[in-house]
């Protein structure tokens, strides 16, 4: 939203610097996104009188002599002291006042271009010197269609007057970030914004009387018009004005109002439309003019019958921009005798558009449901200044005052009748506040008088009643309902930044075991060369299919950004699989990538509040382009991690999940991980057919663990007490030949059992597993080391132990 | 000896070959029947090809040798070794989140992690959103078929936190909880917008707390975070669940190489709306509170001088290693 500071100053005295004003607005109302300095935009542009204008035969050009009041000093003049300038505009004529862009000035419409257009002296048609340029309204950045040069009103413009002085063009434009003002419809007009600025500066704001006007200055003539509102929720109030022709619109001269329109980012259209826009920029209330006669024709009625209702699904309407839209039951339409003539709040219909033949008009000043209009805005892609204001919920109280102001300002029209759907004005809202509560909430004390002044500055009616204060809310403050709203006003208008920050004292906190654990695992894994990643919670159906997970077990997003993000993932490993190839291509042959996150499956069910149960998971993927078997690498990390967390665990035969969510594991090369009877995760290689789909090397493995199980099981202290011996350890390698199918764990356990039974302090570590080609036996080599806690082991005892180990049964 | 599945593949391939020969017959078919004939052949061929692909996938699994899940290494393989520490990395968002959490903890805040899938009640109803509040529209919030919501802010936890910690108020203590979590917004991605990002929420309730206390806590947090004294500033905001609502800003800290007078918007905050307390069974006449929520991604981007937020969820090793600390 663009706001001209000069326009704003018409309503509020600003006695702080522009920088300070921007800071104050930012800290007490809304962020000022940009400050556009236009204080030099109209330098060296003057009002001039066209003394003579002679057509040059066979061209569209006229050779003009202009009187600049002697303003420019360094310029060649004719014998009468006038300046010669060529002009191609058809409307240039002797005697008119025009805007002259002197040599060296920048054409205002080009100031923001990469290469602003600087006017100089030009030689035209090879023989005529032309100094500067007589400018069209478009070149002055005041819109228009470049049909001629701008004509200035001789009553206000005298030769040599800087254009900027006539139209107050040395201006600063504030660019307001209006998204955070969604609850403040009143600030979407210059008057409302000025009121806030006054409040912020601690000044009393004088709201123009016309915004309280409810009595027309004219009598209703014998005109009939019906207003029917099908649903008050859709349209709380509808005011309509019927106006008849009353002379000609005076739009020959460039007006101040037109400069305001343009500085606010709008463009002139026609006198009636410009007036509705001007009043909208001023008050925040959009209005719309229908051609009265077309309105009757569309409705095939003798008198206008306005019906405001929800559109019917599939109903069609051609809008002013020639677009035919298909409406739905969320849209609100204005109808003439039930035939749609406007998409309420958004855009008028082509069928009742005012044009150069328009004689009588119906002016609509109404307010509509912001919720419906917001959807209308999105559905039909309409982002006009009007709908932007309507979607903030313009107050019902101002439809009538703005309609009456239109009647007063529309000089070429005469109001003959006024109709209003609201028969009786609602009682204003009164909010009672407590000074004690307010200091309790804000942490800063305000006296009753201070409070009263702050609120009265922005036109609340305030009566003090001891500690209690009654605040009558002005009709435009649709956001004020409860005492806290008033406390916010006091804090905000006096400056939240004037409240001292004070640190409260309170108790200690409990640590979050899950975060502590995640942090510990993160340290552990990254210290062992693994990389922590994050990937989206949303995946596509194709990924689920690729890893053989059932789409139906995933929550499906109905309004996803793209099909790639349609489902909530069931586990993390598929996301990591999906990201691995990209990294291999980037040159990483071997890596381990992990992620902690939440996963959701429909099979997890709902909690007691009927919200889906999620599960916190750790997943890690092992890629090695030079290996066809990463199972043992994964197992190595898993064992080390669980040992570090002091969790007793067991690797058991792989089991499939009932919901098939772990169907990507190759069952012949995978395992389930148990702690006691509790299944805490899976470990294994991924199926070859799935790996092919991801272009990943055969043997790629992963493990995943249920984080909340680990939180429960982990401990800072090992279960076993450490044992030491001061006597020497015996270290021997031992190789056992076993059947090819013999599982390693049983052999290892048998060895340990032997040493355990003798109450020795010992370790059994793997050295190698060897199987010669074609053999059905394999050799398991271990490094055993043992010592007695109480004595040095004798040679015979060692031999006996070794013998027992070598012949151990399993 | 070929396995069952290999036999099956051979059989299917033979069928395909036979089918391909059928195509030659097309010239003997009356012209008007050719289209139909060709279509039927194509259908059969597609079906066969799919069966072959499935059988080949099966063959891949059938030929897989089982391994000893209890062994320390593969037969004739090397003993596995950890990768070296210099390969490793921690995600910059996660280490930052840890740091944020530890500062809140040091300030006496309990830590509760946010949900990643929630419902309308927690996301909106319990937070004083009007039934028709625009943010409920599909345009900002994702929804599942069942109407569940991947939360768009960590405030989705407020009602739960207030209920779960209400006992502290009854014991004469305060509620002070920080809620980190992953949140989702339905918006198009670009260098500064992600649909998935991290936030940390703060919730504080006591008998006597004020807006001044909120500013005090927030300033303290950022002073600890940036290890320096900071100037703060606020801007009015609007959230349905706080009244008053503010945007909280800090003067750019020295570590971010700031110009003095340049302010950074860090988070949204405000005094908890009485309706939100009421909804959680806390009497707003007796207690009041404040809450805030801010993005973690942005903290990291500022600190690490990142210009593209999309890297965070990219799982690109180049990025992860470069940004690890």
> pLDDT per residue over A188-242, tens digit each?
999 999 999 999 999 999 999 999 999 999 988 888 999 999 999 999 999 999 9
Contact A414, A249 (CB under 8 A): no
Measured in angstroms, the CA of B41 and the nearest CA of chain A are apart by 28
- CATH annotation of A430-498: 3.30.56.10
Q: Which of residues 224-253 of B touch A (CB under 8 A)?
A: 232-238, 243-247
Q: Which residues pair with A511 in a beta bridge?
A: none
Task: Return the SS3 of A773.
Answer: coil
Place of tokens 């151990």: A808
> pLDDT (tens digit, 9 = 90+) per residue, A636-685?
999 999 999 999 999 999 999 999 999 999 999 999 999 999 999 999 99
Task: Give A508's pLDDT tier (boundaries 50, 70, 90).
Answer: confident
Chain B residue with minimal CA distance to A672? B69
Amino acid A73: pLDDT: 87
A340: tokens are: 């749609």
Interface probe, candidates A20, A533, A619, A745, chain B, greatest B C-beta count within 10 A:
A533
CATH code given to domain A730-806: 3.30.70.380
What pLDDT score does B2 carry? 65
Q: Please check whether residue A600 touches B, CB under 8 A.
A: yes
> Checking phi first, is residue B134 left (phi over 0); if not, alpha (psi -120 to 50) or beta?
alpha
Nearest to A394 by CA among A617, A276, A238, A251: A238
Q: Is B136 on the interface with A (CB under 8 A)?
A: no
In terms of DSSP bridges, do strands A730-739 and A761-770 run parallel, antiparallel, or are they unpaired? unpaired
Question: What's the pLDDT at B138?
Answer: 57
Q: CATH number of the domain at A513-713, out of 3.40.50.2000, 3.30.930.10, 3.40.50.720, 3.40.50.1000?
A: 3.30.930.10
Check CB contact of A498 with chain B, cutoff 8 Å. no
Minimum distance, in Å, between the CA of residue A414 and any CA atom of chain B: 40
Per DSSP, the residues of A231-261 read -TTT-SEEEEEEEEE-S----SS--HHHHHH
Q: Domain A45-169 - what CATH class?
A: mainly beta
Average pLDDT, chain A: 94
The pLDDT of residue A725 is above 90: no
Q: Could you tell me where the beta strands, DSSP code E, fall in A314-429? A: 316-318, 324-326, 332-336, 339-343, 347-348, 361-367, 413-420
List CB contacts of A562: < 8 A, sequence separation 6 or more. none
Q: Is the pLDDT of residue A780 over 90?
A: yes
CA distances from residue B141 to A377, A598, B151, B324 in whole angstroms, order as listed: 17, 19, 8, 32
The pLDDT-based confidence of B257 (bands split at 50, 70, 90) is: confident
- Which own/partner contact pairs does B78-85 have at CB distance under 8 Å and 24+ positions apart? B79/A766, B79/A767, B79/A768, B80/A632, B80/A633, B80/A635, B80/A636, B81/A636, B82/A528, B82/A529, B82/A636, B82/A637, B82/A640, B83/A528, B83/A529, B83/A530, B83/A590, B83/A591, B83/A592, B84/A529, B85/A526, B85/A527, B85/A528, B85/A529
How, if at all, do strands A665-675 and A650-653 pair?
antiparallel
For residue B63, pLDDT beyond 90: no
Checking DSSP bridges between strand A701-706 and strand A678-686, what pairing results, if any? antiparallel
Q: Could you give the ipTM of this predicted complex?
A: 0.89
Q: How far apart are CA A745 and CA A771, in angstroms?
A: 17
With 90 as the cut, is the pLDDT of residue A180 above it?
no
Which residue has 């399993």 as its token pair? A810
DSSP state, residue A212: G
CATH number for the domain whose boundaries are A2-39+172-177+185-207? 3.30.56.10
Summarize the confidence of residues B216-243 as an average pLDDT. 94
Strand order in the sheet with A2-4: A2-4, A171-176, A32-38
A residues 465-494 closer than 8 Å to B (CB): 482, 484-485, 487-488, 491-492
B243 vs A contacts (CB less than 8 Å): 482, 484-485, 487-488
> Which token pair is A275?
């007036």
Query: Which residue spans of chain A are classified as CATH 3.30.70.380?
Result: 730-806
Given a contact cutoff of 8 angstroms between Cβ atoms, the answer to whether A140 and A45 are in contact is yes
Contact A623, A700 (CB under 8 A): yes
| Rounded Cα gap, residues A473 and A425, in angstroms | 14
The per-residue pLDDT for range A285-332, each reduced to its tens digit, is 999 999 999 999 999 999 999 999 999 999 999 999 999 999 999 999
Asked if the Cβ–Cβ distance from B115 to A611 is below 8 Å, we say yes
Residue B258 has pLDDT above 80, yes or no: no
Write down the number of H helices and E strands in chain A. 21, 37
CATH architecture of B92-323: 2-Layer Sandwich (3.30)
Q: Please name the residues in contact with B54: beta carbons below 8 A apart, sequence gap of 6 or more.
A: none
Reference B311, options B92, B67, B53, B27; nearest CA is B92
Instruction: Give the distance from CA A644 to its chain's centroid.
Output: 45
The token pair that represents A436 in the structure block = 């004690």
- Report strand pairing: A128-131 vs A590-600: unpaired
Confidence band for B45, pLDDT divided at 50, 70 and 90: confident
Closest by Cβ to A180, choosing from B174, B237, B314: B237
Of B117, B209, B273, the CB nearest to A555: B117
* pLDDT confidence bin for A183, thresholds 50/70/90: confident
Across the interface, whether the CB atoms of A509 and B232 are under 8 A apart is answered no
Residues B142/A557, Cβ–Cβ less than 8 Å: yes
Whether pLDDT at A460 is above 70: yes
Contact A442 B313 (CB under 8 A): no
Question: Is residue A524 scored above 60 in pLDDT?
Answer: yes
Q: List C-alpha distances in Å: B21 to B12, B14, B41.
A: 14, 11, 10
Shortest CA gap A724–chain B (Å) = 26
- Looking at residue A467, its pLDDT comes to 83
Which tokens in the block code for residue A140? 């002055």
Residues of A in contact with B71 (CB under 8 A): 632, 743-745, 766, 769
Measure Cα distances from A35 to A4, A90, A175, A250 in Å.
10, 38, 6, 34
| Whole-number Å distance between alpha carbons of A402 and A282 | 10
Give start-end residues of each CATH 2.40.50.140 domain in chain A: 45-169
For an interface test with B, the pick among A509, A614, A663, A701 (most B C-beta atoms closer than 10 Å) comes out as A509
Ramachandran category for residue A564: left, alpha or beta (phi over 0 → left; psi -120 to 50 → alpha):
alpha
Q: Which residues contact A231 (CB under 8 A, 6 or more apart)?
A: A309, A310
Q: For residue A115, what is the enclosing H or E element?
A: none
Q: How confident is the model at residue B135 (pLDDT cuts 50, 70, 90)?
A: low
CA distance linking residue A240 with residue B10, whole number of Å:
83
Give me the CATH topology for the region A226-420.
Phenylalanyl-tRNA Synthetase; Chain B, domain 3 (3.50.40)
Mean pLDDT of B4-27: 84
The CB density around residue A217, as the number of other CB atoms within 10 Å, is 9
Kindly determine whether residue A518 and residue B219, on different chains, have CB atoms separated by under 8 Å: no
Q: Looking at the predicted structure, is the pLDDT value of residue B7 above 90? A: no
The dihedral through the CA atoms of A437, A439, A445, A450 has a sign that is negative
Quickly list H helices, A448-496. Answer: 448-457, 483-494
User: What confidence category does residue A762 fall into, taking pLDDT thresholds of 50, 70 and 90?
Assistant: very high
Chain B segment 190-219 residues within 8 A of A by beta carbon are 195-196, 204, 206, 208-213, 215-219
What pLDDT, on the 0 to 100 scale, is given for residue A181? 83
Closest by alpha carbon to B242, among B155, B183, B161, B162? B155
**What are φ and ψ of residue A477, in 5° steps?**
-95, 75
Whether A511 and chain B come into contact, CB under 8 Å, resolves to yes
Residues of A in contact with B277 (CB under 8 A): none
> What are the residues whose beta carbons fall under 8 Å from the beta carbon of A220, sequence distance 6 or more?
A416, A417, A418
pLDDT tier for residue A185 given thresholds of 50, 70 and 90: very high
A718 touches chain B (CB under 8 A): no
Q: Is the pTM of this model over 0.80?
A: yes
Q: Strands A531-532 and A590-600: what pairing? A: parallel
How far apart CA A286 and CA B137 sit, in angstroms, is: 25
């Amino acid at each position: 939203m663009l706001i001209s500071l000069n326009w704003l100053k018409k309503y509020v005295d600003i006695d702080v610097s522009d920088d300070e004003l921007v800071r104050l607005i930012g800290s007490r109302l809304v962020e000022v996104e940009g400050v556009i300095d236009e204080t030099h935009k109209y330098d060296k542009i003057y009002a001039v009188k066209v003394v003579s204008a002679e057509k040059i035969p066979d061209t569209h050009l006229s050779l003009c002599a202009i009187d600049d009041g002697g303003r420019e000093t360094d310029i060649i003049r004719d014998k009468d002291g006038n300046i010669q300038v060529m002009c191609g505009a058809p409307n240039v004529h002797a005697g008119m006042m025009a805007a002259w862009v002197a040599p060296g000035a920048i054409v205002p419409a080009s100031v923001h271009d990469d290469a602003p257009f600087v006017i100089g002296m030009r030689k035209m048609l090879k023989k005529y010197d032309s100094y500067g340029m007589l400018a069209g309204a478009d070149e002055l950045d005041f819109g228009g269609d470049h049909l001629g040069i701008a004509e200035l009103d001789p009553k206000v413009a005298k030769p040599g007057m800087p254009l900027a002085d006539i139209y107050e063009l040395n201006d600063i434009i504030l660019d307001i970030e209006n998204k955070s003002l969604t609850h403040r419809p009143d600030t979407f007009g210059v008057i409302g914004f000025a009121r806030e600025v006054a409040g912020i500066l601690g000044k009393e704001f004088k709201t123009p009387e016309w915004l309280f006007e409810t009595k027309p200055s004219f009598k209703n003539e014998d005109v009939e018009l019906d207003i029917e509102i099908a649903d008050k929720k859709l349209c709380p109030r509808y005011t309509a004005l019927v106006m008849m022709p009353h002379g000609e619109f005076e739009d020959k001269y460039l007006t101040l109002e037109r400069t305001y329109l343009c500085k606010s980012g709008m463009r002139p259209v026609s006198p009636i439309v410009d007036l509705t826009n001007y009043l909208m920029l001023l008050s925040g209330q959009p209005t719309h003019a229908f051609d009265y006669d077309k309105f009757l024709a569309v409705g095939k009625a003798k008198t206008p019958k306005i019906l405001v209702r929800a559109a019917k699904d599939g109903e069609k309407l051609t809008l002013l921009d020639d677009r035919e839209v298909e409406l739905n039951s969320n849209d609100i339409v204005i109808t003439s005798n039930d035939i749609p003539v406007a998409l309420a709040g958004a855009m008028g219909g082509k069928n009742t558009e005012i044009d150069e033949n328009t004689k009588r008009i119906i002016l609509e000043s109404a307010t509509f449901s912001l919720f419906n209009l917001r959807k209308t805005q999105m559905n039909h892609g309409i982002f006009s200044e009007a709908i932007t204001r309507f979607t903030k919920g313009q107050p019902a109280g101002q439809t009538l005052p703005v309609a009456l102001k239109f009647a007063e300002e529309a000089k070429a029209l005469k109001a003959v009748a006024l109709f209003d759907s609201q028969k009786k004005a609602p009682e204003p809202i009164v909010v009672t506040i407590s000074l004690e509560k307010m200091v309790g909430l804000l942490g800063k004390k305000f006296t009753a008088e201070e409070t009263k002044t702050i609120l009265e500055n922005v036109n609340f009616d305030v009566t003090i009643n001891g500690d209690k204060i009654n605040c009558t809310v002005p009709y435009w403050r649709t956001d004020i309902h409860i005492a806290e709203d008033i406390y916010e006003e006091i804090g905000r208008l006096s400056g939240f930044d004037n409240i001292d920050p004070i640190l409260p004292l309170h108790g200690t906190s409990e640590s979050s075991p899950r975060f502590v654990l995640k942090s510990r695992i993160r340290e552990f894994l990254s210290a062992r060369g693994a990389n922590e990643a994050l990937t989206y919670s949303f995946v596509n159906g194709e990924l689920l299919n690729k890893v053989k997970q059932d789409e139906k077990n995933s929550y499906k997003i109905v309004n996803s950004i793209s099909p790639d993000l349609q489902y909530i993932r069931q586990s993390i490993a598929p996301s990591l699989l999906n990201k691995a190839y990209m990294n291999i291509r980037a040159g990483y042959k071997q890596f381990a990538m992990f992620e902690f996150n939440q996963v959701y499956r429909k099979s997890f069910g709902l909690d007691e509040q009927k919200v889906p149960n999620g599960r916190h998971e750790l997943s890690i993927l092992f890629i090695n382009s030079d290996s066809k078997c990463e199972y043992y690498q994964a197992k190595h990390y898993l064992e080390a991690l669980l040992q570090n967390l002091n969790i007793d665990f067991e690797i058991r035969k792989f089991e499939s999940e009932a919901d098939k969510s772990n169907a990507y594991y190759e069952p012949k090369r995978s395992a389930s991980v148990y702690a006691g009877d509790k299944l805490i995760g899976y470990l294994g290689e991924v199926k070859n057919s799935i790996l092919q789909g991801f272009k990943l090397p055969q043997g790629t493995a992963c493990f995943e663990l249920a984080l909340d199980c680990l939180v429960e099981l982990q401990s800072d202290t090992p279960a076993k007490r450490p044992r030491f011996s001061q006597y020497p350890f015996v270290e021997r390698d031992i190789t056992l030949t076993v059947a090819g199918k013999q599982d390693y764990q049983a052999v290892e356990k048998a060895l340990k059992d032997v040493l355990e039974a003798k109450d020795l302090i010992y370790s059994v570590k793997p050295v190698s597993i060897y199987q010669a080609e074609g053999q059905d036996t394999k050799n398991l080599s271990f490094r055993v080391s043992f010592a007695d806690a109480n004595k040095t082991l004798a040679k015979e005892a060692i031999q006996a132990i070794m013998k027992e180990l070598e012949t151990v049964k399993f | 000896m070929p396995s069952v599945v290999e036999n099956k593949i051979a059989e299917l391939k033979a069928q395909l070959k036979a089918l391909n020969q059928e195509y030659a017959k097309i010239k003997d078919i009356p012209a008007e029947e050719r289209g139909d004939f060709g279509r039927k052949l194509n259908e059969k061929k597609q079906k066969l090809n799919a069966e072959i692909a499935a059988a080949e996938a099966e063959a891949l699994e059938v030929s897989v040798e089982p391994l000893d899940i209890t062994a320390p290494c593969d037969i004739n393989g090397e003993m596995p070794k950890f990768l070296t520490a210099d390969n490793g990395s921690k995600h910059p968002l996660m280490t930052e989140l840890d740091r944020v959490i530890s500062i809140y903890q040091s300030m006496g805040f309990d830590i509760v992690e946010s949900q990643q899938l929630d419902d309308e009640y927690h996301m909106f109803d319990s937070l004083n959103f009007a039934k028709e509040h625009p943010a409920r529209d599909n345009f900002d919030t994702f929804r599942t078929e069942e109407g569940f919501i991947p939360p768009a802010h960590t405030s989705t936890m407020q009602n739960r936190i207030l209920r779960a910690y209400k006992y502290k108020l009854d014991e004469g203590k305060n509620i002070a909880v920080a809620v980190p979590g992953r949140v989702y917004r339905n918006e198009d991605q670009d260098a500064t917008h992600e649909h998935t990002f991290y936030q940390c929420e703060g919730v504080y309730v006591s008998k006597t707390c004020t807006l001044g206390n909120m500013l005090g806590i927030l300033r303290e947090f950022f002073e600890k975070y940036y290890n320096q004294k900071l100037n703060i500033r606020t801007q009015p905001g609007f959230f349905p669940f706080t009244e008053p609502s503010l945007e909280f800003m800090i003067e750019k800290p020295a570590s971010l190489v700031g110009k003095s007078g340049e302010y950074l918007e860090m988070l949204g905050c405000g005094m908890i709306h009485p309706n939100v307390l009421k909804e959680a069974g806390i009497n707003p006449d007796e207690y009041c509170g404040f809450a805030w929520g801010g993005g973690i991604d942005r903290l990291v981007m500022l600190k690490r001088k990142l210009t593209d937020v999309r890297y965070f969820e990219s799982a690109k090793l180049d990025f992860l290693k470069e940004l690890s600390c």
